[in-house]
Homo-oligomer: A and B are copies of this chain.
Amino acid sequence: MNKVEEFIRTRENLNEIVMDFAKKDIKRFFNLDTSVYKEGALDSKTKEMLGLIASLVLRCDDCISYHLNQCHKAGVTSEELEELFSVGLIVGGSIVIPHLRRAISFWQELIR
């Protein structure tokens, strides 16, 4: 099982634990969290890129991995991703670099 599969499986297992524990409001939040990335005035690809850069500058590895996977499915190319990372790096500063390293490494597994 590679890094990507492991990430997805762990995430699913933990999400089940959350859903068992959560009541109405947390569940509504999770629904909303799905809803905002749906195709609309902006296409899904753009929205996933928005979710990715937000996760990057807030320095959340799990969120970054999740949105990288979504970006990959939505057809984001490595060239586009590299430019997104440039913007995120400039906005967030060198403190973002350790997350960038792991993100690029995760992306390489996704596209190979």
Chain B residues positioned under 8 Å from A104 (CB to CB): 14, 17-18, 21
Tell me whether A87 and B41 are in contact (CB under 8 A): no
Question: Number of A residues whose C-beta is below 8 Å from B?
Answer: 65
Tell me whether A101 and B14 are in contact (CB under 8 A): yes
Tell me whether A50 and B96 are in contact (CB under 8 A): no
Say how many copies of this protein the assembly contains. Answer: 6
A58 interfacial contact with B, CB 8 Å? yes
Chain B residues positioned under 8 Å from A68 (CB to CB): none
CA separation between A94 and B92, bound complex, in Å? 7
Chain B residues positioned under 8 Å from A6 (CB to CB): none
Q: Which interface residue of A25, A58, A77, A102 has the most chain B CB atoms within 10 A?
A: A25
